[in-house]
Amino acid sequence: MTTPAQPADSAVWTRKHLLGLEELSAEEILAILDTAESFAEVSTRSRKKVPALQGRIVFNLFFENSTRTRTSFSLAAKRLSADTQDFSASTSSLSKGESFIDTARNIEAMGADVLVVRHPTPGTPHLLAQHVGCSIINAGDGAHEHPTQALLDLMTIRRAKGRIEGLTVGLLGDISHSRVARSNIHALTKLGARVILCGPPTLVPRGWERFGCEVAYSLDEILPRCDVVNVLRIQFERQQRGLFPSVAEYSQFYMMTQERVRLGKPDLLLLAPGPINRGVELTPEVADGLHSAILDQVTNGLAVRMAVLYLLSGRVEPGPRDGRDGRSRQ
């Protein structure tokens, strides 16, 4: 088994945690993408495993449901030869009153090197990073950030278009409640893309032009300018009240249909983070059509998560830590 050649610019990576893309530089984002390209090659081998994280333990702490992110991190860790363990919040001692931080510190005491955390409360991974010594990866914190989703979106765009800089990327739909949108905005603007936020006025936060984005309410008007459209899910579970009259009305104006695809450039690239609601945000024909890269995103997610685990693993000492400053006890 061989580890892929380490890209030269991965030397720019010095962080122990991946909490969000807001704090990363363009060089750091590119270092992850370049490292992911190396790991994508591993997935084409008949033996899809390298020994890079042998002896390390990666724990998945998911306090929200997940299909893609949890399994992708588990598989990524296994391909790097790490041991992996899923933590089930519903069957844990949290129900007996144990605090979230005590739970994490107990998991760390079992030797965890990396905690992959998804939680409905924004800032939870940042809080954990202050209380445990191992690496923390944000796998989605409320409506705040979902860094590895945005990184796999960028990898998919770069593979399809050969670049990020100079592209026009539309983020479509429920921007207000989308952690994917926030992470995409930070990364795309840092890498020189033009970002258009498009959706009903009630689902596009006011004042986001300050992040360097254009705000638009008519999908049909912006489509001819877009190189990429990232179709976001309506997050009914995070909405306090109905923010548009009906799903049918939303779909009439914002669902990506074949007719709307024809309004775009011939090489329009369509992304969607998933889960997708067919017939709400996009039609089945569009989801499965020639412009869609939805399943490529999932494939690329594995390489991105291998890259993130690999880069972070170089920043944390294996073995017992005191749970606060990350140093080994011995």
Q: Which residues bind ligand CP (CB under 6 A)?
A: 66-69, 140, 149, 273-275
Collect all residues with Cβ–Cβ distance below 8 Å to 49 and sequence separation of at least 6: 1, 42, 78, 79, 80, 81
> In whole angstroms, what is the distance from residue 66 CA to residue 72 CA?
10
Please give the DSSP secondary-structure letter assigned to residue 203.
G
Specify whether the CB–CB gap between 294 and 68 falls below 8 A: no
Nearer to ligand CP by C-beta: 138 or 149?
149
The strand ranges marked E within 148-202 are: 168-172, 194-198
Instruction: Give the nearer residue to ligand CP in terms of CB position, either 74 or 135.
Output: 74
Distance CA 106, CA 98 (A): 10
Nearer to ligand CP, 68 or 159 (CB): 68
Q: Which is nearer to ligand CP, 149 or 156 (by Cβ)?
A: 149
- Nearest approach, Cβ of residue 269 and ligand CP (Å): 17
Nearest-5° angle of CA 155, CA 156, CA 162?
Answer: 80
Instruction: Single out the residue of 117, 158, 113 nearest to residue 318, CA to CA.
Output: 113
Return the number of the residue (201 or 275) whose C-beta is nearest ligand CP.
275
Is 66 in a helix, a strand, or coil? coil
Least distance in angstroms from the C-beta of 1 to ligand CP: 28
Q: Give least dist CB 68 to ligand CP, A.
A: 4
Report in angstroms how near the CB of residue 245 gets to ligand CP at its nearest: 27
Task: State yes or no: cis peptide before 320, omega within 30 of 0.
Answer: no
Give the nearest distance from C-beta 109 to ligand CP in angstroms: 27
Do β-strands 228-231 and 168-172 pair in parallel, antiparallel, or remain unpaired?
Answer: parallel
Least distance to ligand CP from the beta carbon of 66, Å?
3
Tokens of 272: 């969607």
Quick one: 69 or 283, whose CB is closer to ligand CP? Answer: 69
Please tell me whether residue 108 adopts helix, strand or coil conformation. Answer: helix
Residue 309: its H or E element? helix 294-313
* Amino acid, single-letter form, for residue 18: L
Q: How far is the CB of 8 from ligand CP (least distance, A)?
A: 31
Nearer CB in complex with ligand CP: 21/222: 21
Q: How far is the CB of 116 from ligand CP (least distance, A)?
A: 11
How far apart are alpha carbons 130 and 325 in whole angstroms? 8
Q: How far is the CB of 72 from ligand CP (least distance, A)?
A: 8
In the bound state with ligand CP, the residue whose beta carbon lies nearer, of 176 and 297, is: 297
Q: What is the DSSP string of 239-279?
A: -SS-SSS-HHHHHHHH-B-HHHHHHS-TT-EEE--S---BT
Between residues 168 and 178, which has the closer beta carbon with respect to ligand CP?
178
First to last CA, the chain: 31
CA dist 126 and 122 (Å) reads 9
